[in-house]
A and B are shown apart, each in its own frame.
Chain A
Amino acid sequence: MDTINITIDNKNFQVPKGSSILDAAKSVGINIPTLCYMHLHDLNTTHKPTGCRICVVEVEGRKNLVPACATECLPGMVIKNQTVRVLNSRKTVLELILSDHPADCLTCPKNGDCDLQSMAQKMGIRHLHYQGEQSTYIKDRSPAIKRDMDKCIGCRRCLTMCNEVQTVGALSAINRGFMSVMAPPFQMNLEDSVCTYCGQCVAVCPTAALTEIDHTAKVIRLLADPTKTVVVQTAPAVRAALGEEFGYAPGTLVTGKMTAALKDLGFDYVFDTDFAADLTIMEEGTELLDRLTRHLNGDPTVKLPLLTSCCPGWVNFFEHQFPDMKDIPSTARSPQQMFGAIAKTYLAEKIGVKREDMIVVSVMPCLAKKYECSRDEFKTDGNPDVDYVLSTRELARLIKQASIDFDSLDPAEFDHPMGESSGAGVIFGTTGGVIEAAVRTAYEVYTKKKLHKVDFEQLRGMEWIRESTVDFDGTPIKIGIAHGLGNARKLLQDIREGKSHYHAIEIMACPGGCIGGGGQPLHHGDSNILLARQKALYSEDKAKVIRKSHENPSIIKLYDEFLGKPMSEKAHHLLHTHYFDKSNHIEITKE
């Protein structure tokens, strides 16, 4: 790597050629403050709109201060990061931003986890010298995401996530000057836009302009209601990230502590979404084998590749943007919804609770799941299969509010019968995990042979788009994997143009899969955190005795006692769904 010599605050450094002043300074341990810059290293995404002007520095020989994020280091450059002029300028800029920002930190949902707040603290802001007009916008509440644009500082990170990484295109900067704001077209509500609720905008928002809809208060009330039986399910990715909210290193598995905390909170039954993930594999895997067998027997009507359907953000994406392909994805519901459907039928009957007296709460790394549970097709007589969805962050808040000392909790086990899961269910939380879980089961069912090595390393990793061929005892099965909706779009376009050669494709909306979901503890663009969470899930899988979904005894029992067999009529009714064309805003008329 070519390097050049520069000087920062009278010290000489060697830094990579071509790097910005901000990156160069960071590489030698000098953190120049910024509010808008974002660099997601492993995801090849850099966002530097040079909008906030907090990162300005002095460069010798230049009259004006320069933004460190967008100024390239040149050989011999003399940079000053700590002069009175620089510090005053940063403070002035910050005070101007704060002059158009509500000062309600104490009651703000981002209190304690806000980049603007910590910047004000770091810079020692004690007075606001400027008073001016404050922008006010109507609050926009969708089923998953709340927009409070009074709190927007115009960093535009959300636009990069929505338009470039995810290619969803729900948000843009509209109007100009002081009136400029990040909004859906025509300032429509998020709910009426093409938003998928993936929540990646929420995950990068430095303030509370974009936050999740908070259901903690409702859940607290229900937990206190003696007439309700409150059942909770926890998604696989939650256990690999929840610990971060309590000071544990990223990638620390807190499965047992999380279960104990949920029991302390007063949930009547603490179950595992991993159980439902195993169920998903039974249904989705059977569907894959059915399509595959018919395809191999020469049936030309079979739609391949089969696309996984457990990610609700991804489902929203194709319903809006690829409705012509809505019959390709598997009809299997997501694990969350399978869990809800089984809990409110099979379990309710088993424990003698009426449907209307049972409340199903999910803890999810995901914001799209909040919307998913509100879909009409997942309700029976208006009663939803899943009542409330809490994000990983909300669960952490709930635990803190209840004064539970997370650190001193003794690990607890999940309850039965919906708490037992295989290793295959655990890895649903990471990119590549769903398809690996499906392959473990599909291989054995298809070849009728025992799989001796269940680890399919070739399906793992963090590259945006991966592919691999798995040998099903002489039949090569071609598999594609994409995470991040922008990458899903590429694979979908190939299918549309007839260029796709895969039999099955796994798609997850969020970078990294559920471990990087919009409801997870904020990773502030550090992809090492995602890698640590991914590793944690594979280690939990490895530690399990049962690692294939079809060997999960509770699943076997569920089919014996209740469902019959995969894709049975009952299974169809409870565990499968259909998709809608949501692209039509406009009608073309003759006259």
Chain B
Amino acid sequence: MLTICENNVAKIEAICREFNNDKGELINVLHKAQHTFGYLPEEVQEIIAANLNTSLAHVYGVVSFYSFFTMIPKGDHPINICMGTACYVRGAEKVLEEFKKLLNIQVGQTTKDEKFSLSSLRCVGACGLAPVVLVGDKVYGRVTLDGVQEILDEYKG
């Protein structure tokens, strides 16, 4: 059986209340819950469904549809590679492949030591710096293949 602590239940209830427990606000509730917990595990979705008076199937349908939502906990340092047009034409895909190779994970996954997770996104509005990589909130511009290892080294140790 799944478990969740009272404290977290109270947090979810507060988020739902903020949106008047309105099932039409499901996406906003999920956004906020993911911001709070870092990801959307089954138990969080279940409490949200109960509070918004909708089915768990519906909540999961929405979570699984949008690539922004994740059911896998993010690493301590979430890595986002911009795949917007500008970054893409300047080699973002190769940069992404390099991250996958060095971390030995796929997009949407987290390393075993829970240090890094890998995602892609579309355009952070810094096209002049393409290709762009974000680690947490920190922006790295003009990233080269050799630069990938350097970025990771910053967070190791």
Contacts and interface: CB of A to CB of B under 8 A. Distances in A.
Contacts of B65: 173-176
A588 interface: yes
A413 to B, nearest CB: 47
B6 A585 contact: no
Nearest to B66: A176
B6 A586 contact: no
B60 interface: yes
A145 interface: no
B58 A172 contact: yes
B45 interface: yes
Q: Is the interface of B mostly helix, strand, loop or mixed?
A: helix
A172 B60 CA distance: 8
Given A174-B65, A175-B64, A185-B45, A169 B58 contact: yes
B60 to A, nearest CB: 4
Contacts of B56: 169, 185, 194
A590 interface: yes
B4 A589 contact: yes
Contacts of A589: 3-6
A588 B11 CA distance: 13
A168 B58 CA distance: 11
Given A587-B1, A588-B3, A169 B64 contact: no
B39 to A, nearest CB: 14
Contacts of A184: 57
A57 B55 CA distance: 36
A193 interface: yes
Contact of B5 (A193, A194, A590): A590
B93 interface: no
A163 B58 contact: yes
Contacts of A586: 1-4, 43, 46-47
Interface in A164-215: 168-176, 184-186, 193-194
B58 A588 contact: no
A591 B5 contact: yes
Q: Interface residue tally of chain A, by bracket? A: 20 to 34
A588 B5 contact: yes
Contacts of B60: 172, 174, 185-186
A174 B61 CA distance: 4
B42 interface: yes
A587 B3 contact: yes
B54 interface: yes
Nearest to B2: A586
Nearest to B50: A586
Interface string A557-590: 0000000000000000000000000001111111
Nearest to A177: B65
B59 interface: yes
B2 A185 contact: no
Interface residues of B, number: 22
A163 B59 CA distance: 13
Nearest to A171: B57
B125 to A, nearest CB: 25
B121 interface: no
Contacts of A174: 60-61, 64-65
A165 to B, nearest CB: 14
Contacts of A173: 61, 65
Contacts of B9: 588
Interface string A220-255: 000000000000000000000000000000000000
B5 to A, nearest CB: 5
B1 A585 contact: yes
Contacts of B43: 586
B55 A163 contact: yes
A584 B3 CA distance: 11
Nearest to B1: A587
Contacts of A186: 42, 60
Contact of A170 (B2, B57, B64): B57
Best-buried of A163, A588, A590 by chain B (most CB within 10 Å): A588
Contacts of B64: 174-176
A185 B43 CA distance: 12
Contacts of A171: 57
A361 to B, nearest CB: 34
B4 A588 contact: yes
B2 A585 contact: yes
A176 B69 CA distance: 13
A175 B59 CA distance: 12
Interface string B9-45: 1000000000000000000000000000000001101
A421 to B, nearest CB: 39
Given A588-B6, A589-B4, A194 B55 contact: yes
Contacts of B3: 586-589
A537 to B, nearest CB: 34
Best-buried of B46, B57, B59 by chain A (most CB within 10 Å): B57
Nearest to A195: B57
Interface in B48-95: 54-61, 64-65
Interface string B115-147: 000000000000000000000000000000000
B116 to A, nearest CB: 25
B57 A193 contact: yes
A590 B6 contact: yes
Best-buried of B2, B42, B46, B55 by chain A (most CB within 10 Å): B55
A168 B57 CA distance: 10
A176 B6 CA distance: 33
Interface in A421-435: none
A83 to B, nearest CB: 36
Given A172-B55, A588-B3, 4 more contacts: A172-B58, A184-B57, A585-B46, A586-B3
Nearest 5 A-B pairs (CB), nearest first?
Answer: A169-B55, A172-B61, A172-B57, A185-B60, A174-B64
